[in-house]
Structure 1
Amino acid sequence: MNDTHLIPLPRLQAAMHLVVRGFGSSADEVAAVAGNLIEANLTGHDSHGIGMLPRYADAFLQGGLQPNAAVSTELDAGALLRLNGNRGFGQVIGAQAMALGIERAKALGTCVVALGNSHHLGRIGAWAEQAAAAGLVSMHFVNVISRGIVAPFGGADARFGTNPFCAGVPLTGRPPVILDFATSMIAQGKTRVAMNKGELVDDGCLIDDHGRPTREPRFTVVPPFGALLTFGGHKGFGLAMMCELLGGALAAGMTQRDADASQRRVLNGMFSVLVDPAALADRAGFEGEALAFIDWVRASPPREGFDGVLIAGEPERAHRARRTVEGVPVDATTWQEILDAATKLGVDAAAVQATALGG
């Protein structure tokens, strides 16, 4: 097992700001990138948190990530927006794209946002949360342009990315329902975290480079590569296909179809549908039915081995509350990778270490 640092939130924020400044980002971009990554850690999704910075550093040094880029509009057709992320930090591009879509949906009742060419958009739930905070329902289909990491159902090697799907439903007076998941059994980043911690993954998640079942996370992190499997067999595969066809072919005009492992950049396309429920139906009636159903489901007696029914978004909020108080756990291997990335970016790794851990 790997040692783990438990870093107080204020110290982690200050340390990650130091690292992100190494990209040459503006102050606003530093705050957006570091804040989004740390928020992923707070919600328990370490796979999409600060452990991504080493990959971002490599992508930047290869020219695949463009700091201080902004979204540009390629098509404005009222309730249809086609946007180019210009390979900018997805933490910035995603927020800008959602802001444009929210403004249009509030005015017209709905908006379809087709975003392409964004660098890694991070935890897609953040964009559903942004829409929900504005009172909007949203759905997001996302593809991934990077080294293939997921095998098609019935296939023995990787052909596409983890292709996440996300949906959010706002509820007045209650936290929103936020469903956010990779169409693979587990996110790729979770295998990186498992490998760094010296842990195995659960059965049924991975195949090795010969297409055989394995629990060794290294087969998605270092060569020879195997592949993740889709959740639910053909069902997850079908949803992954929809994410590629909508987020990739339609929104981004770009799909995953090569095995090049040399490029470290991670590009995302995202097909988002935003709807103002008040423009579609009586909002009070909609929310009344939604809350009645949620309460009905939650009243199911706990099954053996469970504490009770959790609604999508609740585990993340519980993690956030706990880690905000207790600090954010970062395994020693991931932490060293972050320090090495800081050095690559021209940042004093010793200063990052001292800021986060003291001494």
Structure 2
Amino acid sequence: MSDSASTPAAGSAGPGIRKVTAEHLAEAVRRLLRAAGSDADEARIVADHLVEANLRGHDSHGVGMLGLYMGAIAGGFLRPNQHAAVIGESGPFLAVGGGNGYGQAIAREAMDIAIARARRDGLAALSLRDTHHIGRVGSYGEQCSAAGLVCIAFVNVASRPMVAPHDGLRARLGTNPICIAVPATQATPALVLDFATSAVAVGKCRVAMAKGQEMAPGLVLDAQGNPTRDPAVMFEEPTGALLPLGGHKGFGLALMCDVLAGALAAAMPGTPPHQEAARVMNNMFAIVFDPARGGNAQWADGVDDIVAYVRDTPAAAGTEGVLLPGEPERRTRAARLAEGIPLSTATIGMLESLCAERGVEVVGLLG
């Protein structure tokens, strides 16, 4: 699961919704990114990452982020064509800087470095800093699991605060995601747990607002600290606040993300000196290790045992039974590859406007 505790759905086209093929959408985004200064490789990596988020049902981290990105470039907060740079090493610890570049490209390169170290030494502890929005964190967990490695990642968001602490009425924290990924075994697909520590991702408020929908109860507070279902309060001044996932438990996890990824790994906690509404900076602390070198060569058998036991649970009424972390995303991806990615007309209009501003031709690509 990615960027919130909610389960993604393939979705069907309805009023205000247009379906676009993944191939056409990625090509339109690549053209826009090239026009905004990215070289061909960076444009491909960022476009593929964004479209993959849409494919997996996490539209909050998909192509709808491009409005923020283009504004961040114009404001000097996001610098195209930067690369991950190792800025410190000590034993298994690895510090990587991103030069305020596209997080999707920087974090991918940084994780490649950590994967190489973990394969060589058995373990790497990665601190990633100075990186613009890294997108769907689960993609880096998938990167590690595909390499046969376990990844435990904590991410903080240094931007305008969005989440109220438990029992608080004002936003003080970011949505601060956590990801845990375990490689596939012969019987079990890779397990990828990826969720925001807020009750919902702020991007899902953006998606709901674009579709003219209300939020579910118990997710959002208005600027006065009153419960509301209006997603627009997250994009007004003064802003509202998201509630933490699971009350005090989600608050504790969010705080520890800021401690581990922000304060310890990057010297960029989500405090006022690092808050800027026109950008989203992410820092990450990730532990990447080889499960076969952890003292249990039969680890895969244990994974298969617990997964089989959990799956063998009677299904609750109205459900199809237990789904494992990462399974809803795989199902949604298959459906959207076959049927197209549903985008709101507001998102389509935003993309067309951004392309028109830069002289990018996308006729026939966006439906």
TM-score tier after normalising by the smaller chain length: over 0.9
TM-aligned CA deviation for residue 356 of structure 1 = 2.3
Q: Which amino acid aligns with 1:65?
A: L
Alpha-carbon distance between aligned partners in 2 of 1:85 and 1:337, rounded to the nearest angstrom: 28
Among 288, 291, 295, the alignment partner of 1:277 is 291
TM-aligned CA deviation for residue 262 of structure 1 = 5.8
Determine if the alignment matches structure 1 residue 355 to structure 2 residue 365. yes
Alpha-carbon distance between aligned partners in 2 of 1:150 and 1:299, rounded to the nearest angstrom: 36
Among 185, 194, 198, the alignment partner of 1:184 is 198
Q: Which amino acid aligns with 1:158?
A: A
Tell me, what secondary structure is at the counterpart of 1:127?
helix
Among 326, 332, 338, the alignment partner of 2:345 is 332
Q: Which amino acid aligns with 1:347?
A: G
Among 55, 73, 85, the alignment partner of 1:72 is 85
Alpha-carbon distance between aligned partners in 1 of 2:273 and 2:354, rounded to the nearest angstrom: 25
Structure 2: any 5+ residue segments left out of the alignment?
1-13
TM-score, length basis structure 1: 0.95
Alignment of 1:80-159 (within 5 A): 80-159=93-172
TM-aligned CA deviation for residue 256 of structure 1 = 1.1
Tell me, what secondary structure is at the counterpart of 2:283?
strand
Among 10, 15, 36, the alignment partner of 2:49 is 36
Among 272, 288, 310, the alignment partner of 1:258 is 272
- Cα RMSD over matched residues? 1.4
Tell me, what secondary structure is at the counterpart of 2:323?
coil
Aligned to 2:313: 300
Among 184, 189, 205, the alignment partner of 1:175 is 189
Asked if the contact 1:120/1:266 (under 8 Å) is kept, the reply is yes
Q: Which amino acid aligns with 2:197?
A: T
Moved more, 182-191 or 21-30: 21-30
Per-residue CA deviations over 1:313-345 (Å, capped at 9, x if unaligned) read 00000000000111101100111112222244x
Aligned to 2:251: 237
Asked if the contact 2:125/2:285 (under 8 Å) is kept, the reply is yes
Q: Stretches of 4+ moved more than 6 A in 1? A: none
Q: Which amino acid aligns with 1:163?
A: N
Alpha-carbon distance between aligned partners in 2 of 1:218 and 1:117, rounded to the nearest angstrom: 29
Asked if the contact 1:18/1:347 (under 8 Å) is kept, the reply is no
Among 41, 44, 63, the alignment partner of 1:50 is 63
Asked if the contact 1:137/1:274 (under 8 Å) is kept, the reply is yes
Tell me, what secondary structure is at the counterpart of 1:105?
helix
Q: Which amino acid aligns with 1:233?
A: G
Determine if the alignment matches structure 1 residue 207 to structure 2 residue 221. yes
Alpha-carbon distance between aligned partners in 2 of 1:144 and 1:38, rounded to the nearest angstrom: 22
Asked if the contact 1:59/1:263 (under 8 Å) is kept, the reply is no
Determine if the alignment matches structure 1 residue 219 to structure 2 residue 233. yes
Among 194, 198, 208, the alignment partner of 2:208 is 194
Asked if the contact 2:220/2:243 (under 8 Å) is kept, the reply is yes
Per-residue CA deviations over 1:244-277 (Å, capped at 9, x if unaligned) read 0001001111111129876411100100001101
Q: Which amino acid aligns with 1:112?
A: A
TM-score, length basis structure 2: 0.93
Asked if the contact 1:14/1:356 (under 8 Å) is kept, the reply is no
Q: Which amino acid aligns with 1:216?
A: D
Asked if the contact 1:206/1:227 (under 8 Å) is kept, the reply is yes
TM-aligned CA deviation for residue 103 of structure 1 = 0.4
Tell me, what secondary structure is at the counterpart of 2:52?
helix
Tell me, what secondary structure is at the counterpart of 2:99?
coil
Q: Which amino acid aligns with 1:208?
A: D
Moved more, 242-251 or 166-175: 166-175
Asked if the contact 1:148/1:259 (under 8 Å) is kept, the reply is no
Alpha-carbon distance between aligned partners in 2 of 1:312 and 1:262, rounded to the nearest angstrom: 33
Q: Which amino acid aligns with 2:80?
A: P
Aligned to 1:162: 175
Question: How many matched pairs?
Answer: 353
Moved more, 177-186 or 163-172: 163-172
Structure 1: any 5+ residue segments left out of the alignment?
none
The 3 A distance-change label for structure 1 pair 321 and 86 is: same
TM-aligned CA deviation for residue 57 of structure 1 = 0.3
The 3 A distance-change label for structure 1 pair 73 and 288 is: same
Q: Which amino acid aligns with 1:267?
A: M
Q: Which amino acid aligns with 2:91?
A: G
Q: Which amino acid aligns with 1:266?
A: V
Asked if the contact 2:182/2:190 (under 8 Å) is kept, the reply is yes
